[in-house]
Amino acid sequence: MSMLAVIGYAAQFAATGLSLSPLTIIGLVPVFAAGLAFMRYMAVDPEGHPVNTRYIRPEYDFIVVGGGSAGAVVASRLSEVGNWSVLLIEAGGDENEISDIPSLSGYMQMSQFDWMYQTTPPTDSPYCLAMVGDRCNWPRGKVLGGSSVLNAMIYIRGNRRDYDLWEMQGNTGWSYEDVLPYFLKSEDNRNPYLTRTPYHSTGGYLTVQESPWRTPLSIAFLQAGKELGYQVRDLNGEIQTGFMLSQGTLRRGSRCSTAKAFLRPVRSRSNLHIAMYSQVTKVMIHPTTKRAYGVKMVREGSPPQMVRARREVILSAGAIGSPHILMLSGVGPKEHLESFGIPVLSDLKVGHNLQDHIGLGGLTFIVDDPITFTKKRYQTMQVAMEYILKEKGPMTSLGGVEGLAFVNTKYAPKSGLWPDIQFHFAPSSVNSDAEQVKKITGLRDSVFNTVYKPLKDAETWTILPLLLRPRSKGWIKLRSKDPKVYPDIIPNYFTHKQDIMTLTEGIRIALNVSDTTAFQRFGSRPHKMPFPGCRQYAFDTDEYWECSIRHFTFTIYHPTSTCKMGPPTDMDAVVDPRLRVYGIGNLRVVDASIMPNIISGNTNAPTIMIGEKASDMIKEDWGIQVR
């Protein structure tokens, strides 16, 4: 290939608008790296990329708002019905070659692919104290594929008891036995030892597999689990408790977002239009009939326009976006909407019941051997070429998360089958890519300089201990009736003391992992430098860990439950078990916001499942027979 051709590819790379040069990201000669990366990116999926529709018709059968983990699925599945017209509206644009690289998932945050939400500073129970302004960053995908373009690609379904609990609460059809077929429908698992079991399948749109590369510490993590009495098993199988190497939405060494999985293969369908860079500001609802008949939207700076829906409007804008749009449209808590002068069409607890998985960030362990994942070690020409030419190597790492575990604290159900803590194991820590981690977490300079800067050249690894079923719940609330003004995000972390107590026990199990023979052969030991606000407490006391948790409060970006699903008898429910909004016709919500309770695990795969199941329910409700 000539240098002129390479420069041409580099120019196309630059035109994507991502404000990260190849030199910054992978430490290579920028033009050469950009050219090779662009060539590989364009070759990964021969069906090509979705087209941004130029002309939007005045009316469609279905309008899907949000092209993320659920919306991409719904648009793809509804457009299977040839005589239905479907418009998918996405506020962001398409993916690019950098988002395709698994190890660079952290670089997608705080980019143009990210809504860049932040939590509202707490007024009562403190949290996020180590962050600038006491505000935690909440990345959410503003791109076709949504947060499946920003996340670490981890494929975890949750515990069967989560879904059985949903059904026990009156959500008929949402038991584990009911939802498992929809997980299987999506999946194309590339690990043969898993596809031989009844819990996995092949042939679906969504590719799932292990990364082809890992550090020696990943095996130590599994061995440590065995030493602690846990089995190494498929955590998406019959029993969730245990340890395993991470499975992720990975295809040929690259990210498999829902846009790549569900939209690229159907891009040629004439009945599916995709409007990118288009933001819905309101669902149009008839004030007398209380039926949704379309949406108001703004596209790429043009004047607002209305598009009509003959059959339904489907909100798939996520646990922040969907309640925000509903409230702006007159669906939400009566007193709250009236305080902004918004006419109330259905008085529902929209924005309530906010739940999130939360843990202690930056829990760091030091080892002696040069075997950890550091920016300096793996941002080299050799590593980049291995990825670009062979689809292998360190750049295929699932956001740096090599291992997963579900463990039981003393507060977990005695059966041992419904663990209350999840571990994300990474052979790196804050110091391994200090500049970017500091940026995406929003860590204060004083915290970073005191705790992590001394580890600049150290070999480190981490476990993120995650609280699976928090008792503390928060809210999404309007700050203005102007759609451009972000809502208040009030997660209300740690208002229940039990959440702190459970997390503290999870941290101590993580310390036990470091103490195993498997890790001691590398000289593993915890980094004991306290946060500046926690110096008065002795290491490993309850007070020390509570202070640490309230400082480096780390969300793994799993907001759910703000448009709660429930039966008519549930006064907190926003949608019924078929995801129809109470009191409003022809309007559904299909995304993670409908979860009555957050599931025990990563939320991306369950959100895709919700999209699959909802698509069949919509087809059934409009007279289409499904299998």
The answer to whether residue 40 scores a pLDDT higher than 70 is: no
Q: Classify residue 373 as exposed, middle or buried by CB count within 10 Å of its CB (0-12, 13-18, 19+).
A: buried
Q: Using alpha carbons, select from 68, 144, 147, 71 the residue that is nearest to residue 109.
A: 147
Instruction: Give dist(CA 536, CA 531) in Å, integer.
Output: 10
CATH class of the domain at 102-142+212-245+358-555: alpha beta
Q: What are phi and psi of 117, to 5 degrees?
A: -70, 155
DSSP secondary structure letters along 169-187: TT-TT-SHHHHHHHHHHHE
Residue type, 501: M
pLDDT at residue 321 is higher than 60 = yes
Taking only the tens place, the pLDDT of each residue in 358-374 is: 999 999 999 999 999 98
- Write down the pLDDT at residue 33: 46
Identify whether the C-beta of residue 136 lies closer than 8 Å to the C-beta of residue 583: no
User: Which band of pLDDT confidence, cut at 50, 70 and 90, is reported for residue 1?
Assistant: very low
Q: What is the model's pLDDT at position 47?
A: 58
| Segment holding 350, helix H or strand E | none
Distance, in Å, from the CA atom of 599 to the CA atom of 355, rounded to the nearest integer, reads: 10
pLDDT, one tens digit per residue, over 521-548 is 999 999 999 999 999 999 999 999 999 9
Question: CA 189 to CA 256: how far, in whole Å?
Answer: 12
* 558 annotated active-site: yes
Catalytic residue among 336, 424, 551, 558: 558
Residue 41's pLDDT band (cuts 50, 70, 90): low
Count of C-beta atoms within a 10 Å radius of residue 19: 9
Q: Does 31 score more than 50 pLDDT?
A: no
The band of 379, judged by pLDDT with boundaries at 50, 70 and 90, is: confident
Which residues are CB-neighbours of 350 under 8 A, at least 6 positions away? 323, 326, 327, 331, 332, 333, 476, 562, 563, 574
Q: Which residues contact 411 (CB under 8 A, 6 or more apart)?
A: 420, 498, 501, 502, 505
Cα(165)–Cα(336) distance, integer angstroms: 30
Reduced to 3 states (helix: H, G, I; strand: E, B; else coil), residue 85 is coil
The pLDDT assigned to 520 comes to 98
At residue 401, the pLDDT reads 97
Write down the mean pLDDT value for the chain.
Answer: 92
d(CA 127, CA 552): 8
**Domain edges within the chain:** 3-44, 102-142+212-245+358-555
Q: Name the least confident of 19-23, 119-123, 382-386, 430-434.
A: 19-23
Counting residues of the chain whose pLDDT is more than 90, the rounded percentage is: 86
pLDDT above 70 as % of the chain: 93
Output the six-digit token pair for 175. 């038991």
Q: Is 143 annotated as a binding residue?
A: yes
How is residue 318 written in tokens? Answer: 């996520």
Angle of helix 176-186 versus helix 160-168 axis, rounded to 10: 130
Segment 52-76 mean pLDDT:
97
How far apart (Å, rounded) are the C-alpha atoms in residues 3 and 113?
30
State both tokens at 467: 């609280």
Residue given tokens 């079923």 in the structure block: 469
Contacts (Cβ under 8 Å, ≥6 apart) of 303: none
User: 47: which 2 tokens?
Assistant: 């069906």
Query: Over the stretch 136-175, which tens digit does the pLDDT of each residue have?
Result: 999 999 999 999 999 999 999 999 999 999 999 999 999 9
pLDDT confidence bin for 380, thresholds 50/70/90: confident
Which pLDDT band holds residue 26 (cuts at 50, 70, 90)? very low
Higher pLDDT, 124 or 400: 400
Which pLDDT band holds residue 13 (cuts at 50, 70, 90)?
very low
Retrieve residue 621's tokens.
């409700």
Q: Please give the helix or strand (H or E) that residue 382 lies within, else none.
A: helix 381-390
Q: Does 280 belong to an annotated binding site?
A: yes
Cβ proximity of 208 and 257 under 8 Å: no
Q: At 67, is the secondary structure helix, strand, or coil? A: coil
